[in-house]
Amino acid sequence: MTFLYKGPAQRGAIWAEQFARKMPQLPFCFWPDVGDAAQVRFLAAWEPPARLEETFPNLEILFSVGAGVDQFDLSALPPGLQVVRMVEPGLTACMCEYVSWAVLSLHRGIPQYREQQQRGEWKEHPVRPASSRRVGVMGMGTLGRAALAQLRQLGFDCAGWSRSRRNDPGIRTFAGEAELGDFLARTDILVCLLPLTPETRGILDRRIFDALPPGASLVNAARGGHLVQPDLLAALERGQLSAAILDVCEPEPLPQGHPFWNHPRIWLTPHVASATQAETAAEALLDNLRRHDAGLPLEGVVDRSQGY
Ligand code: NDP
Ligand code: OXD
């Protein structure tokens, strides 16, 4: 039985060392040195090798090395293969930092102050407490809920929206299409932390922007495919949105000359809101393998029919 890793060598070296120390009975292989392919039961990858079923007939679990699984063609994977996304505290903590930074920047009007600075303009706007700012997070999964908990600590008036109803202390929760309008109507800063699925592709569009209070702002730390780019530009132009902070785009990177690059009210970061942290992720993988051994449910199992 072996564990096969396909990904950056630096992270692989840390994982190999931790596996050798903590689970020495499970050999750790680096793609493409797979040894006996029939022994491969576990694969960790961002992009799995082609023809998985033929190549690894005894593969049981595909671990995504990231939180998202939209990079996999779930319909093309062997039917019985369990797919598990990355749930690990290092990745969650970094996402909370990014969302807090972005929301605080928008709350304090920093994009506007940057623009003023470029014009040589010294002009104050009213300073408001966080408690008077309504933040809404789309997606109340591992990352959305952790981000909401931190935003609440910062004093924001927080709400979350998800497919099924969630109950988190101190957070107003909204569920499904039926409650989306009410959620948006009370949201000054909208944060997207949804998975990218056929249902959520293009969700950040004119309809959503128009349902927000005028002058609202956007943080997209999920996937570029959630955003309808021309609708964002039009909403900024009309003043319906005042600013956007985007960590993700489609394609990545954006082509030179794309209007987002130099837009004064769009801040871009190159898909760095968070990243799997090798040490804590190794612990999470080992925990899941122990659970698997013990016949317990794994953390982060993907419902392949829902796409996340
Ligand atoms: P989870 O699977 O834990 O959570 C997903 C949440 O989205 C759930 O609350 C789910 O609802 C909700 N959801 C899914 N589909 C819908 C829908 N159609 N309508 C309403 N709500 C929906 O994901 P994570 O929190 O772990 O990660 C979220 C995403 O963040 C990842 O998929 C990835 O794309 C992105 N990401 C981005 C990173 C970056 O650096 N920019 C880094 C890591 C992740 P319910 O609770 O009802 O199931
Ligand atoms: C992820 C990412 O999904 O880094 O983990 O985007």
Ligand nearest to the CA of 247: 1
112 and 228 fall within a common domain: yes
Condensed to tens digits (0 to 9), the pLDDT of residues 173-220 reads 999 999 999 999 999 999 999 999 999 999 999 999 999 999 999 999
- Residue 72 beta carbon below 6 angstroms from any ligand 1 atom: no
CB atoms within 10 A of CB 272: 11
Task: Give the three-class secondary structure for 114.
Answer: helix
| DSSP-assigned letter for residue 296 | P
| Residue (of 263, 218, 269, 225) closest to 242 by Cα position | 218
- Position 99 scores a pLDDT of 99
Domain of residue 50, residue span = 2-88+276-293
Q: How many residues does the chain have?
A: 308
* Ligand 1 geometric centre to CA of 200 (Å): 10
* Ligand 1 geometric centre to CA of 139 (Å): 5
143 and 8 fall within a common domain: no
Ligand nearest to the CA of 302: 1
30 and 83 fall within a common domain: yes
229 and 263 fall within a common domain: yes
| Residue (of 21, 20, 25, 65) closest to 293 by Cα position | 25
- Nearest atom, ligand 1, residue 308 CA: 2
- Nearest atom, ligand 2, residue 271 CA: 6
Pairing mode, strands 2-6 and 28-30 = parallel
159 and 241 fall within a common domain: yes
* Ligand 1 geometric centre to CA of 264 (Å): 29
- Residue 68 beta carbon below 6 angstroms from any ligand 1 atom: yes
- The residues of the chain scoring below 70 in pLDDT are none
Give me the residues paired with residue 241 across strands: 216
Pairing mode, strands 216-220 and 157-162 = unpaired
Q: What is the mean pLDDT of the chain?
A: 97
- Position 286 scores a pLDDT of 98
The secondary structure element, H or E, covering residue 187 is none
